[in-house]
Amino acid sequence: MKYRIEGDTLPVVICELESGETMITESGAMSWMTPNMKMDTTSNGGIGKAFGRMFAGESLFQNRYTAQGGDGMIAFASSFPGSIQAFEISPEKSYIFQKKTFLAATQGIEISIHFQKKMASGLFGGEGFIMQKISGKGIAFAEFDGHVVEYDLKPGQQLMVDTGYLAAMEDTCQIDIQTVPGLKNAVFGGEGIFNTVITGPGKIWLQTMPIYSVANAIRPYIPTGK
């Protein structure tokens, strides 16, 4: 499979498949394709894995697109202004994605639930108690909100992140939370009560425009019915 990512603020990944190659994706993610791409909707691993993906923020079922009778092409566009990133997945390197980040992948990639080790990290850390673990072997595409900034954390090195800005990380990183010090800071500082703390080693990807921040920014301007 060969691919190219086009576009700036509204990108699309265009995948060129050889005959017999397969892509997996979320329901409704396909944007355009050649007529010889056969679609098959599947639970992809049984009902147990399907429910696992659902709790991780994805659809209960996945679509599999296979090129038949020759080379094929299929494209997956971002659903929100931002960027699309490609991740090389191997048995030695898995990744943790925020919910709704997964876009598409080659056959051989698995999406499963990643639980935070500490309940408080999941309930208050802003990334949710359940995240997505992307494992297996192949290439996975993720869509991020806004511009992406990458950091490579050394062992024990930490970065404090506001709610929702963590988009992805290598599974060697750990997540915890810290309470904002001081009652006045927590109540009047406007940054919330908790911050997410990421500890290396590992690489992390931060997004600059989480969709929830956009929703909060425009909410005061949306007319409400009486």
Extents of the domains making up the chain? 2-221
Indicate whether 48 pLDDT > 60. no
Q: Which of 52-61, 195-204, 206-215 has the lowest mean pLDDT?
A: 52-61
Phi, psi of 54 (to 5 degrees): -65, -45
Contact 202, 169 (CB under 8 A): yes
Q: Which of 71-80, 179-188, 193-202 has the lowest mean pLDDT?
A: 179-188
* Span 55-74, average pLDDT: 82
Indicate whether 29 pLDDT > 70. yes
Count how many Cα atoms sit within 13 Å of the Cα of residue 118 in the half-sphere of its side chain.
11
CA dihedral over 199, 200, 206, 211, signed as positive or negative:
negative
Query: Per DSSP, what are the bridge partners of residue 158?
Result: 199
Q: Return the structure tokens found at 125.
A: 């850390």
The string of pLDDT tens digits covering residues 129-138 is 578 899 999 9
CA dihedral over 52, 55, 57, 63, signed as positive or negative:
positive
pLDDT at residue 177, as a whole number: 75
Burial class (CB in 10 A: 0-12, 13-18, 19+), 108: middle
Burial class (CB in 10 A: 0-12, 13-18, 19+), 74: buried
Indicate whether 155 pLDDT > 80. yes
pTM flag (> 0.85): no
Instruction: Report d(CA 200, CA 152) in Å as an integer.
Output: 8
Indicate whether 13 pLDDT > 90. yes
CATH topology classification for 2-221: Double-stranded beta-helix (3.60.160)
Indicate whether 39 pLDDT > 70. yes
In the numeric block, the tokens 């970065």 are attached to: 159
Indicate whether 201 pLDDT > 90. yes
Indicate whether 197 pLDDT > 70. yes
Indicate whether 95 pLDDT > 70. yes
pLDDT at residue 144, as a whole number: 94
Instruction: Report d(CA 189, CA 183) in Å as an integer.
Output: 9
Q: Which of 67, 65, 74, 93 is nearest to 12 (CA)?
A: 74
